[in-house]
Amino acid sequence: MVENRDRRDRLRDAAIEVLAGEGGRGLTHRALDRVAGLPEGTAKNYFPTRDSLLRAAAERCVERYWSDLQQAEVHDVDGLLTLLRRMIDRALTDNRSRILAYLELHAEAARNAQVRETLARLTRADLDLHLAAQRAAGLPATRHGAATVTLAINSALTYLLTQPPDVLAAYGLDDLDAFLARLVSTAYPPA
Amino acid sequence: MVENRDRRDRLRDAAIEVLAGEGGRGLTHRALDRVAGLPEGTAKNYFPTRDSLLRAAAERCVERYWSDLQQAEVHDVDGLLTLLRRMIDRALTDNRSRILAYLELHAEAARNAQVRETLARLTRADLDLHLAAQRAAGLPATRHGAATVTLAINSALTYLLTQPPDVLAAYGLDDLDAFLARLVSTAYPPA
């Protein structure tokens, strides 16, 4: 059973890597076996259809998002800004493949109800996380304030992964600490 | 020459429809010929490689974005809100395929420098448009304020196309007029 779970997770991680590196077009059973270093036929055995592959990738994105959140401890606005900065830094490094796969899966979600439902869990959790972190920071947090911050940060992540430096500078994304401080104080103006 | 341009545009529009409907995986020369209603071989003749197909789709997105902007006339904040609401409404109806193709191309931009450069023109123009419209509305517009609004609206568009109703409600996207009014007054608090 442990080995089964391990193989399953290796395949799901491989699905994220393949989506990030080659897009939905590259997501084949053969590619997954190769990237996961497993015998040909393994991916087909665990995830027989293309839809089940896409759903597996989306579920793995959500799981990895969750496991990434455990460390967060916030007591004030500085702590909140540190958390947000760390989230972005990790999105551009350790979590880069997951965020790129997530972009790819979002395009897929418009066509595929199961992928849509899986990603929706992440989108809900994302808002709840921001709201809880803003409360923990002592801000007068509201769902609307949290929505503004969450929406702006998610576009910012997409741009950081897909836009050239001059565009990032135009959006103020060349100085992430300043960007985040401004965003939070825009959503919650100091009294 | 006129006929050539017409065929070229029909193929590029077909590329947008195919990307929106089937994703990057469906973007083949044969699919473009079929959707454009042109003889087999036409797409291959105009856009010989897959990269040139992707670039053509990205360029057509940018062109259609521009041609869509001509009508904008803004004199006050109400006019700005009306413009933003119309942009979103059109994104969900007439421009739905273009916005979905744009999502798909963004995922591609992370891997493909030419697609990235083409989309960057749109991302730059988008910020400039918001900034100009905010100025025309009489707001104390700044690049940072415009960036916040642009980033939040772009995530909102993605969510409107890919998330279920309860998620939209959680983000305040079930009432778009209220969402936009709040967003603009968050970026530019009334004195």
Residues A63-111: tens digit of each pLDDT: 888 877 666 689 999 999 999 999 999 999 999 999 999 989 988 898 8
CB contact under 8 A, A172 and B143: yes
Per-residue pLDDT tens digits for A11-57: 999 999 999 999 888 999 999 999 999 999 999 999 999 999 999 99
Q: Which of B96, B1, B109 is nearest to B55 (CA)?
A: B109
CA distance B153 to A176: 20
Cβ neighbors of A87 (< 8 A, separation 6 or more) are: A153
Structure tokens at A6: 């391990």
The beta-carbon neighbor of A24 closest among B20, B23, B110 is B23
Q: B5 falls in which pLDDT band (50, 70, 90)? A: confident
Which residue, chain included where needed, has tokens 């341009």?
B5
Q: By the 8 A CB rule, do A148 and B152 touch?
A: yes
Q: How far is the first Cα of chain B from the last one, in angstroms, to the nearest whole number?
A: 56
Confidence of residue B72 (pLDDT cuts 50, 70, 90): low
**Contact status, residue B96 vs residue B19, Cβ threshold 8 Å:** no
Are A155 and B151 in contact by the 8 Å Cβ rule? The answer is yes
DSSP state of A25: G
Model ipTM value? 0.92
Domains of chain B, first to last: 2-187 (1.10.357.10)
B106 to chain A: nearest residue by CA? A162
Q: What is the rounded CA–CA span in Å between residue A98 and residue A140?
A: 32
Q: What is the pLDDT of residue A72?
A: 66
B-chain residues near A161 (CB < 8 A) = 110
For residues B53 and B47, is the Cβ–Cβ distance under 8 A? Answer: yes
Q: What is the pLDDT of residues B86-134, one digit of tens each?
A: 999 999 999 999 999 998 998 889 888 999 999 999 999 999 999 999 9
Separation of alpha carbons B61 and B76, rounded Å: 29
Say yes or no to pLDDT of A1 above 60.
no
> For residue range A140-190, what is the model confidence (pLDDT) as tens digits?
999 999 999 999 999 999 999 999 999 999 999 999 999 999 999 999 998
DSSP secondary structure letter of residue A94: T
Annotate B91-104 with DSSP letters as a single string. Answer: HHTTTHHHHHHHHH
Tokens of B153: 């609206």
Query: Which residue in the set A23, A156, A187 is minimally distant from B186, CB to CB?
Result: A187
